[in-house]
């Protein structure tokens, strides 16, 4: 993570569970990426909901590329599920 602000948001949500809502341009992707990295090697279920359907595929590609760059194994990458797939197809 790049800024103390991002670390504080991550730490707060990690310790207490929570919902993060941030305005565009504040670097939400840094916080999301930190959680994806943390849970990529675990059996926990992590849901990432993108409110803009047009950007879901773009977000998925961005985060998987970042996770691969951080050394996350390919088999531990998140699975994209949308309205065209059922949960059993992953």
Once rounded to an integer, what is the mean pLDDT over residues 23-50? Answer: 84
Residue 9: predicted pLDDT: 92
Using alpha carbons, list the distances in angstroms from residue 79 to 11, 62, 67.
25, 13, 13
Residue 42: predicted pLDDT: 79
Please give the Cα distance from 87 to 43 (Å, whole number).
Answer: 16
Residue range of the domain that includes 32 = 4-89
76 near 63, Cβ under 8 Å? no
pLDDT digits (tens, 9 = 90+) for 2-17: 789 999 999 999 898 8
Once rounded to an integer, what is the mean pLDDT over residues 60-73? Answer: 91
20 near 9, Cβ under 8 Å? yes
36: left (phi over 0), alpha (psi -120 to 50) or beta: alpha
| pLDDT at residue 57 greater than cutoff 50 | yes
Residue 90: predicted pLDDT: 47
Number of domains in the chain: 1
pTM: 0.74
Please give the Cα distance from 58 to 41 (Å, whole number).
Answer: 23
Residue among 60, 71, 52 at smallest CA distance from 29: 60
């Amino acid at each position: 993570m790049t800024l103390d602000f991002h670390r504080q948001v991550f730490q707060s949500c990690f310790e207490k569970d929570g919902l993060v809502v941030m305005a565009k341009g504040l670097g939400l992707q840094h916080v999301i990426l930190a959680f994806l990295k943390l849970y990529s090697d675990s059996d926990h279920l992590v849901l990432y909901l993108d409110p803009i359907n047009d950007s879901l595929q773009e977000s998925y590609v961005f985060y998987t590329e970042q996770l691969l760059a951080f050394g996350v194994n390919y088999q531990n990458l998140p699975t994209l599920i949308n309205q065209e797939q059922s949960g059993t197809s992953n």
